[in-house]
Amino acid sequence: MDGLMKVLTVVGARPQFIKAATVSRAFAALNRSQGQEVVNERIVHTGQHYDANMSKVFFDELEIPPPAINLEVGSGSHGRQTAAMLERLESIIVEQAPDWVLIYGDTNSTLAGALAAVKVHIPVAHVEAGLRSYNRAMPEEINRLVADSVSTLLFCPTQTAVDNLRKEGVTRGVHLVGDVMYDSVLFNTSLARRKSDVLARLNLEPRSFFLATIHRAENTDDPERLAGILQALRETRTRIVLPLHPRTRKTLGDGLRRLSPKVQIVDPVPYLDMLMLESNARVILTDSGGVQKEAYWFGVPCVTLRDETEWVELIACGSNRLAGADPVAIGEAVRWAEEAAAAMRQRKRVDLYGDGKSAEKIVARLMDSR
Protein backbone atom coordinates (compact mmCIF):
# COMPACT_ATOMS: atom_id res chain seq x y z
CA MET A 1 0.00 0.00 0.00
CA ASP A 2 1.40 3.40 -0.83
CA GLY A 3 0.32 6.88 0.18
CA LEU A 4 -2.17 8.09 2.69
CA MET A 5 -5.86 7.64 1.84
CA LYS A 6 -7.99 10.57 2.97
CA VAL A 7 -11.62 9.86 3.76
CA LEU A 8 -14.22 12.44 4.65
CA THR A 9 -17.14 10.77 6.38
CA VAL A 10 -20.44 12.62 6.42
CA VAL A 11 -22.95 11.62 9.09
CA GLY A 12 -25.79 13.39 10.84
CA ALA A 13 -28.46 11.03 12.15
CA ARG A 14 -28.55 8.37 14.88
CA PRO A 15 -28.30 5.23 12.72
CA GLN A 16 -25.39 6.74 10.82
CA PHE A 17 -23.32 7.14 13.96
CA ILE A 18 -23.82 3.44 14.71
CA LYS A 19 -22.88 2.39 11.17
CA ALA A 20 -19.89 4.75 10.94
CA ALA A 21 -18.55 3.55 14.30
CA THR A 22 -17.89 0.12 12.83
CA VAL A 23 -16.08 1.42 9.76
CA SER A 24 -14.05 3.93 11.80
CA ARG A 25 -12.92 1.05 13.98
CA ALA A 26 -11.82 -0.84 10.87
CA PHE A 27 -9.85 2.20 9.64
CA ALA A 28 -8.09 2.39 13.00
CA ALA A 29 -7.36 -1.35 12.92
CA LEU A 30 -5.79 -1.02 9.47
CA ASN A 31 -3.55 1.82 10.64
CA ARG A 32 -2.48 -0.25 13.64
CA SER A 33 -1.74 -3.31 11.53
CA GLN A 34 0.39 -1.23 9.14
CA GLY A 35 2.28 0.43 11.98
CA GLN A 36 1.59 3.82 10.40
CA GLU A 37 -1.29 5.99 9.29
CA VAL A 38 -2.44 4.70 5.90
CA VAL A 39 -5.98 6.05 6.26
CA ASN A 40 -6.88 9.46 7.56
CA GLU A 41 -10.57 9.74 8.36
CA ARG A 42 -12.24 13.01 9.19
CA ILE A 43 -15.83 12.99 10.30
CA VAL A 44 -18.18 15.79 9.42
CA HIS A 45 -21.36 15.82 11.53
CA THR A 46 -24.07 17.75 9.74
CA GLY A 47 -25.93 18.42 12.97
CA GLN A 48 -29.15 16.88 11.65
CA HIS A 49 -29.55 15.14 15.02
CA TYR A 50 -28.35 17.24 17.92
CA ASP A 51 -30.03 16.20 21.19
CA ALA A 52 -27.42 14.55 23.39
CA ASN A 53 -29.42 11.31 23.43
CA MET A 54 -29.66 11.30 19.61
CA SER A 55 -26.02 12.14 18.95
CA LYS A 56 -23.32 12.67 21.60
CA VAL A 57 -24.20 9.53 23.51
CA PHE A 58 -23.31 7.41 20.47
CA PHE A 59 -19.95 9.10 19.90
CA ASP A 60 -19.08 8.57 23.57
CA GLU A 61 -20.34 5.03 24.00
CA LEU A 62 -19.11 3.67 20.67
CA GLU A 63 -15.84 5.59 20.88
CA ILE A 64 -16.31 7.19 17.50
CA PRO A 65 -13.58 9.72 16.71
CA PRO A 66 -15.05 13.14 17.53
CA PRO A 67 -16.27 15.02 14.47
CA ALA A 68 -13.65 17.33 13.01
CA ILE A 69 -16.48 19.69 12.13
CA ASN A 70 -20.12 20.02 13.17
CA LEU A 71 -22.18 21.97 10.66
CA GLU A 72 -24.95 22.44 13.24
CA VAL A 73 -27.67 22.65 10.62
CA GLY A 74 -30.38 21.47 13.02
CA SER A 75 -33.94 20.67 12.02
CA GLY A 76 -35.95 22.10 9.15
CA SER A 77 -37.93 21.24 6.06
CA HIS A 78 -36.21 18.91 3.60
CA GLY A 79 -35.14 21.68 1.23
CA ARG A 80 -33.92 24.00 3.95
CA GLN A 81 -32.06 21.36 5.90
CA THR A 82 -30.43 19.79 2.85
CA ALA A 83 -29.53 23.19 1.39
CA ALA A 84 -27.82 24.28 4.61
CA MET A 85 -25.79 21.08 4.61
CA LEU A 86 -24.87 21.41 0.93
CA GLU A 87 -23.69 24.96 1.26
CA ARG A 88 -21.42 24.19 4.20
CA LEU A 89 -20.20 20.82 2.96
CA GLU A 90 -19.05 22.10 -0.41
CA SER A 91 -16.34 24.38 0.92
CA ILE A 92 -15.17 21.76 3.41
CA ILE A 93 -14.86 19.09 0.71
CA VAL A 94 -13.00 21.45 -1.58
CA GLU A 95 -10.65 22.49 1.19
CA GLN A 96 -9.97 18.96 2.46
CA ALA A 97 -9.75 17.37 -1.01
CA PRO A 98 -10.31 13.82 0.28
CA ASP A 99 -9.86 10.69 -1.84
CA TRP A 100 -13.37 9.61 -0.83
CA VAL A 101 -16.49 11.08 0.65
CA LEU A 102 -18.08 8.27 2.63
CA ILE A 103 -21.83 8.34 3.22
CA TYR A 104 -24.25 6.03 5.02
CA GLY A 105 -27.86 5.06 4.59
CA ASP A 106 -30.62 7.28 3.31
CA THR A 107 -31.05 10.45 5.34
CA ASN A 108 -30.88 14.06 4.23
CA SER A 109 -27.26 14.03 5.43
CA THR A 110 -26.58 11.16 2.99
CA LEU A 111 -28.11 13.12 0.13
CA ALA A 112 -26.19 16.30 0.94
CA GLY A 113 -22.87 14.46 1.27
CA ALA A 114 -23.39 12.76 -2.08
CA LEU A 115 -24.40 15.86 -3.99
CA ALA A 116 -21.80 18.15 -2.49
CA ALA A 117 -19.00 15.70 -3.27
CA VAL A 118 -19.94 14.66 -6.78
CA LYS A 119 -20.34 18.27 -7.91
CA VAL A 120 -16.76 19.03 -6.99
CA HIS A 121 -15.57 15.77 -8.55
CA ILE A 122 -14.74 13.89 -5.38
CA PRO A 123 -15.79 10.24 -5.61
CA VAL A 124 -18.55 9.07 -3.31
CA ALA A 125 -18.71 5.71 -1.53
CA HIS A 126 -22.16 4.76 -0.28
CA VAL A 127 -22.58 2.28 2.55
CA GLU A 128 -26.02 0.62 2.46
CA ALA A 129 -26.48 1.14 -1.27
CA GLY A 130 -29.19 -0.47 -3.37
CA LEU A 131 -32.00 -0.56 -0.84
CA ARG A 132 -35.40 0.24 -2.25
CA SER A 133 -38.90 0.44 -0.83
CA TYR A 134 -40.30 1.39 -4.26
CA ASN A 135 -42.32 4.03 -2.44
CA ARG A 136 -41.26 7.45 -3.65
CA ALA A 137 -43.40 9.19 -1.07
CA MET A 138 -40.71 8.22 1.44
CA PRO A 139 -38.03 10.91 1.74
CA GLU A 140 -35.49 8.14 2.27
CA GLU A 141 -36.30 6.55 -1.10
CA ILE A 142 -35.44 9.76 -2.95
CA ASN A 143 -32.26 10.13 -0.92
CA ARG A 144 -31.22 6.58 -1.81
CA LEU A 145 -31.98 6.93 -5.51
CA VAL A 146 -29.96 10.12 -5.78
CA ALA A 147 -27.08 8.94 -3.60
CA ASP A 148 -26.75 5.66 -5.47
CA SER A 149 -26.90 7.32 -8.85
CA VAL A 150 -23.88 9.53 -8.11
CA SER A 151 -21.78 7.05 -6.11
CA THR A 152 -18.61 5.46 -7.46
CA LEU A 153 -18.57 2.67 -4.90
CA LEU A 154 -21.85 1.11 -3.86
CA PHE A 155 -21.58 -1.12 -0.82
CA CYS A 156 -24.65 -3.35 -0.70
CA PRO A 157 -25.75 -5.15 2.46
CA THR A 158 -27.79 -7.81 0.66
CA GLN A 159 -28.09 -9.62 -2.65
CA THR A 160 -31.51 -8.00 -3.02
CA ALA A 161 -29.81 -4.61 -2.94
CA VAL A 162 -27.36 -5.74 -5.64
CA ASP A 163 -30.30 -6.98 -7.73
CA ASN A 164 -32.20 -3.72 -7.24
CA LEU A 165 -29.24 -1.80 -8.63
CA ARG A 166 -28.86 -4.22 -11.53
CA LYS A 167 -32.52 -3.60 -12.45
CA GLU A 168 -31.63 0.09 -12.66
CA GLY A 169 -28.66 -0.73 -14.91
CA VAL A 170 -26.08 -0.13 -12.18
CA THR A 171 -23.41 -2.82 -11.89
CA ARG A 172 -20.13 -0.87 -11.87
CA GLY A 173 -18.63 -0.28 -8.46
CA VAL A 174 -21.27 -2.47 -6.80
CA HIS A 175 -19.96 -4.69 -3.99
CA LEU A 176 -21.89 -7.08 -1.83
CA VAL A 177 -20.22 -6.61 1.56
CA GLY A 178 -22.93 -7.46 4.10
CA ASP A 179 -24.37 -5.13 6.68
CA VAL A 180 -22.18 -3.02 8.95
CA MET A 181 -25.00 -3.09 11.50
CA TYR A 182 -24.45 -6.82 11.85
CA ASP A 183 -20.76 -6.21 12.54
CA SER A 184 -21.90 -3.72 15.13
CA VAL A 185 -24.31 -6.09 16.88
CA LEU A 186 -21.66 -8.83 17.01
CA PHE A 187 -19.12 -6.41 18.46
CA ASN A 188 -21.39 -4.71 20.97
CA THR A 189 -23.75 -7.38 22.34
CA SER A 190 -21.38 -8.74 24.95
CA LEU A 191 -20.37 -5.19 25.90
CA ALA A 192 -24.04 -4.38 26.34
CA ARG A 193 -24.53 -7.36 28.64
CA ARG A 194 -21.65 -6.19 30.79
CA LYS A 195 -22.28 -2.47 30.79
CA SER A 196 -25.99 -1.81 30.45
CA ASP A 197 -28.26 -1.81 33.48
CA VAL A 198 -31.36 -0.81 31.56
CA LEU A 199 -33.34 -3.93 32.48
CA ALA A 200 -32.79 -3.35 36.20
CA ARG A 201 -33.39 0.38 35.87
CA LEU A 202 -36.73 -0.11 34.15
CA ASN A 203 -37.53 -3.14 36.29
CA LEU A 204 -37.92 -5.46 33.30
CA GLU A 205 -37.80 -9.23 33.36
CA PRO A 206 -36.53 -10.85 30.15
CA ARG A 207 -39.41 -11.71 27.76
CA SER A 208 -41.99 -9.98 29.94
CA PHE A 209 -42.28 -6.93 27.70
CA PHE A 210 -42.63 -5.70 24.15
CA LEU A 211 -40.32 -3.07 22.70
CA ALA A 212 -41.67 -0.47 20.29
CA THR A 213 -40.19 2.39 18.26
CA ILE A 214 -42.05 4.82 16.00
CA HIS A 215 -40.49 7.66 14.06
CA ARG A 216 -41.04 7.23 10.34
CA ALA A 217 -42.56 10.34 8.71
CA GLU A 218 -45.30 8.30 7.03
CA ASN A 219 -46.55 7.38 10.52
CA THR A 220 -45.80 10.47 12.58
CA ASP A 221 -47.07 12.94 10.00
CA ASP A 222 -50.31 11.10 9.21
CA PRO A 223 -52.78 11.52 12.11
CA GLU A 224 -54.84 8.53 11.01
CA ARG A 225 -51.87 6.18 10.86
CA LEU A 226 -50.46 7.43 14.13
CA ALA A 227 -53.86 7.02 15.82
CA GLY A 228 -54.10 3.47 14.44
CA ILE A 229 -50.70 2.52 15.83
CA LEU A 230 -51.44 4.08 19.22
CA GLN A 231 -54.77 2.27 19.40
CA ALA A 232 -52.99 -1.02 18.72
CA LEU A 233 -50.46 -0.26 21.47
CA ARG A 234 -53.29 0.61 23.88
CA GLU A 235 -55.06 -2.67 23.15
CA THR A 236 -51.99 -4.81 23.80
CA ARG A 237 -52.16 -6.60 27.13
CA THR A 238 -48.39 -6.83 27.59
CA ARG A 239 -46.24 -4.02 28.94
CA ILE A 240 -44.62 -2.05 26.12
CA VAL A 241 -41.41 -0.05 26.43
CA LEU A 242 -41.38 2.81 23.93
CA PRO A 243 -38.14 4.81 23.63
CA LEU A 244 -39.66 7.81 21.96
CA HIS A 245 -37.99 9.60 19.05
CA PRO A 246 -38.15 13.41 19.46
CA ARG A 247 -40.10 13.68 16.25
CA THR A 248 -42.88 11.48 17.60
CA ARG A 249 -42.84 13.13 21.02
CA LYS A 250 -43.35 16.45 19.33
CA THR A 251 -46.23 15.22 17.17
CA LEU A 252 -47.97 13.48 20.05
CA GLY A 253 -47.69 16.34 22.50
CA ASP A 254 -50.56 16.04 24.99
CA GLY A 255 -51.74 12.86 23.26
CA LEU A 256 -49.01 11.02 25.14
CA ARG A 257 -51.17 11.12 28.25
CA ARG A 258 -53.91 9.19 26.52
CA LEU A 259 -51.70 6.13 26.10
CA SER A 260 -52.46 3.19 28.33
CA PRO A 261 -50.37 2.88 31.52
CA LYS A 262 -49.06 -0.35 29.97
CA VAL A 263 -47.09 1.79 27.51
CA GLN A 264 -43.94 3.02 29.21
CA ILE A 265 -42.49 5.97 27.38
CA VAL A 266 -38.81 6.63 27.86
CA ASP A 267 -36.38 9.02 26.19
CA PRO A 268 -34.30 7.65 23.30
CA VAL A 269 -31.85 5.22 24.85
CA PRO A 270 -28.13 4.73 24.19
CA TYR A 271 -27.19 1.92 21.80
CA LEU A 272 -26.03 -0.59 24.41
CA ASP A 273 -29.28 -0.15 26.34
CA MET A 274 -31.18 -0.58 23.09
CA LEU A 275 -29.38 -3.85 22.37
CA MET A 276 -30.36 -5.12 25.83
CA LEU A 277 -33.98 -4.07 25.37
CA GLU A 278 -34.14 -5.68 21.94
CA SER A 279 -32.49 -8.94 22.92
CA ASN A 280 -34.75 -9.36 25.97
CA ALA A 281 -38.04 -8.27 24.44
CA ARG A 282 -40.69 -10.88 23.69
CA VAL A 283 -41.87 -9.04 20.60
CA ILE A 284 -40.65 -5.92 18.79
CA LEU A 285 -42.95 -3.46 17.05
CA THR A 286 -41.20 -0.88 14.90
CA ASP A 287 -41.11 1.27 11.81
CA SER A 288 -37.30 1.57 12.03
CA GLY A 289 -35.05 -0.02 9.43
CA GLY A 290 -32.21 -0.89 11.79
CA VAL A 291 -34.45 -2.23 14.55
CA GLN A 292 -36.13 -4.73 12.16
CA LYS A 293 -32.76 -6.36 11.50
CA GLU A 294 -31.64 -6.26 15.10
CA ALA A 295 -34.86 -8.13 16.01
CA TYR A 296 -33.80 -10.85 13.57
CA TRP A 297 -30.27 -11.08 14.93
CA PHE A 298 -31.65 -11.51 18.44
CA GLY A 299 -34.29 -14.06 17.37
CA VAL A 300 -37.18 -11.81 18.39
CA PRO A 301 -40.28 -11.70 16.16
CA CYS A 302 -40.86 -8.29 14.63
CA VAL A 303 -44.10 -6.57 13.70
CA THR A 304 -43.25 -3.85 11.21
CA LEU A 305 -45.50 -0.80 11.35
CA ARG A 306 -45.15 -0.06 7.66
CA ASP A 307 -46.73 -1.15 4.38
CA GLU A 308 -43.45 -2.23 2.84
CA THR A 309 -39.87 -2.82 3.89
CA GLU A 310 -36.49 -2.62 2.22
CA TRP A 311 -35.41 -5.65 4.26
CA VAL A 312 -37.54 -8.11 2.30
CA GLU A 313 -35.50 -11.16 3.32
CA LEU A 314 -36.86 -10.78 6.86
CA ILE A 315 -40.39 -11.22 5.58
CA ALA A 316 -39.37 -14.12 3.34
CA CYS A 317 -37.74 -16.01 6.21
CA GLY A 318 -40.77 -15.55 8.45
CA SER A 319 -39.20 -13.49 11.23
CA ASN A 320 -40.99 -10.25 10.42
CA ARG A 321 -44.55 -9.31 9.43
CA LEU A 322 -45.74 -6.13 7.80
CA ALA A 323 -48.75 -4.80 9.66
CA GLY A 324 -48.99 -1.20 8.42
CA ALA A 325 -50.79 1.15 10.77
CA ASP A 326 -54.17 -0.57 11.01
CA PRO A 327 -54.96 -1.61 14.59
CA VAL A 328 -56.66 -4.83 13.52
CA ALA A 329 -53.75 -5.89 11.33
CA ILE A 330 -51.27 -4.96 14.06
CA GLY A 331 -53.31 -6.96 16.60
CA GLU A 332 -53.23 -10.02 14.34
CA ALA A 333 -49.51 -9.67 13.75
CA VAL A 334 -48.89 -9.33 17.49
CA ARG A 335 -50.79 -12.58 18.10
CA TRP A 336 -48.63 -14.29 15.46
CA ALA A 337 -45.49 -12.85 17.07
CA GLU A 338 -46.48 -13.98 20.57
CA GLU A 339 -47.02 -17.51 19.31
CA ALA A 340 -43.83 -17.51 17.25
CA ALA A 341 -41.59 -16.02 19.95
CA ALA A 342 -40.39 -19.12 21.81
CA ALA A 343 -39.68 -21.14 18.66
CA MET A 344 -37.96 -18.23 16.97
CA ARG A 345 -35.48 -17.85 19.81
CA GLN A 346 -34.41 -21.48 19.32
CA ARG A 347 -34.29 -21.35 15.54
CA LYS A 348 -30.90 -21.43 13.87
CA ARG A 349 -30.42 -18.23 11.96
CA VAL A 350 -28.79 -17.97 8.57
CA ASP A 351 -26.47 -15.07 7.85
CA LEU A 352 -28.80 -12.93 5.76
CA TYR A 353 -26.52 -9.95 6.21
CA GLY A 354 -23.01 -11.18 5.68
CA ASP A 355 -20.41 -12.64 8.01
CA GLY A 356 -19.84 -9.73 10.39
CA LYS A 357 -16.80 -8.52 8.46
CA SER A 358 -18.54 -5.97 6.35
CA ALA A 359 -16.50 -2.99 7.56
CA GLU A 360 -13.20 -4.72 6.76
CA LYS A 361 -14.43 -5.39 3.23
CA ILE A 362 -15.47 -1.77 2.80
CA VAL A 363 -12.09 -0.50 3.97
CA ALA A 364 -10.24 -2.92 1.67
CA ARG A 365 -12.30 -1.83 -1.34
CA LEU A 366 -11.75 1.84 -0.59
CA MET A 367 -8.00 1.26 -0.39
CA ASP A 368 -7.98 -0.75 -3.65
CA SER A 369 -10.15 1.66 -5.61
CA ARG A 370 -8.29 4.90 -5.01
Give the active site residues.
Answer: 215
For residue 331, which amino acid is it?
G
215 binds ligand UD1 (CB under 6 A): yes
108 binds ligand UD1 (CB under 6 A): yes
Our CB check for ligand UD1 shows the closer of 109 and 236 to be 109
By CB under 6 A, what part of segment 258-317 binds ligand UDP? Answer: 268-269, 271, 274, 288-291, 294
Per-residue contact string for residues 162-191; x = within reach of ligand UD1 by CB under 6 A? ------------------------------
139 binds ligand UD1 (CB under 6 A): yes
51 binds ligand UD1 (CB under 6 A): yes
Q: Which does 268 bind (CB under 5 to 8 A by kind): ligand UD1, ligand UDP, none?
A: ligand UDP
Our CB check for ligand UDP shows the closer of 215 and 282 to be 215
* Alpha-carbon gap, residue 276 to 108, rounded angstroms: 29
By CB under 6 A, what part of segment 10-69 binds ligand UDP? Answer: 14-15, 18
140 binds ligand UD1 (CB under 6 A): yes
Rg (CA), the chain: 20
Q: Is the dihedral of CA 275, 277, 279, 285 positive or negative?
A: negative
267 binds ligand UD1 (CB under 6 A): no
Q: Please, which residues have CB within 8 angstroms of residue 230's CB and are 6 or more apart in sequence?
A: 252, 255, 258, 259
Enumerate the β-bridge partners of residue 176.
Answer: 156
213 binds ligand UDP (CB under 6 A): yes
**How many of the other CB atoms lie within 10 Å of CB of 202?**
16
Question: Which residues contribute to the site for ligand UDP (CB under 6 A)?
Answer: 14-15, 18, 213, 215, 243, 268-269, 271, 274, 288-291, 294
